[in-house]
Amino acid sequence: MRAMQDNLGESSENPLRTKRINRGVTAAIGVILVVLIAAIVVLFFIVTPYAVSGASMQPTLQDGDHIMVLKVGFEIKRGDIILFERPGSDYPPVKRVIAMGGDTVSFDGESYYVNGEKLEESYLFEDFYAEDYLSVFDGEIAKALEVGLTLKSDELFVLGDNRNHSYDSHDYGPVRQDRVIGKVVNIY
């Protein structure tokens, strides 16, 4: 009889215990879902990881490096590295902003100038202006840069840090600011 009472006693506690466990599991699942949704929102709408493809930003960025791009709430300044959309490109290019709307950019065959001041570019390889860079430097953009190309208020002039191996504004001209996806905030 005692064994029967013990079993009855245990079974009367089980529903209460099961209820507590269910509440705990439900709360844990709820917390996990909230964290997961928050992470997805952050990763897709605020900060997004990208992999660097190519050598155009060497030595700053290497092929295969990973970058975090801030997509909202950023201000672009000269020297910033940005990711942007370019028509006809399979992947969004990553380049450095050297001039902004209202600036005048010029190139004398060796150095870039912004508003008449030589651009100090400590991030470049020492001898990047080899003949292969200058040989592709022709056309309308090159002619405009000889006398000075003044950017419209919504334009950016972007260049790769590896000038010999970069397809950038010296080839296709300024980039409109509405094409900017985001600003690089971390390299890992």
Determine the pLDDT at residue 133.
60
DSSP string, 103-163: -EEEE-SS-EEETTEEPP-TTS-TT---HHHHHT--SHHHHHHHH-EEPPTTEEEEE-SSG
Would residue 31 count as lying in a domain? no
The residues facing 159 across adjacent strands are: 96
Q: Establish if 6 belongs to a structural domain.
A: no
Count the Cβ atoms, other than its own, within 10 Å of residue 155.
21
Alpha-carbon distance values, 72 to 17, 67, 76, 146 (Å): 47, 16, 11, 35
How many domains, the chain? Answer: 1
pLDDT value at position 18?
80
pLDDT of residue 60: 96
Domain assignment of residue 119, given as a range = 52-187
For position 83, what pLDDT does the model report? 98
* CA–CA distance, 163 with 167 (Å, rounded to integer): 8
pLDDT at 45: 86
- Residue 167 is assigned to a structural domain of this protein: yes
Domain-embedded: residue 32: no
* CATH number where 97 lies: 2.10.109.10
Rounded to two decimals, the pTM is 0.79
Q: What is the mean pLDDT of each run of 10 residues along the chain (188 residues)?
A: 50 71 89 93 88 94 97 96 92 97 93 95 71 63 92 98 90 96 96
Q: Determine the pLDDT at residue 12.
A: 52
User: What is the reported pLDDT for 161?
Assistant: 94
Which positions are annotated as active-site residues?
56, 95
∠109-54-103 over CA atoms, to 5°? 40
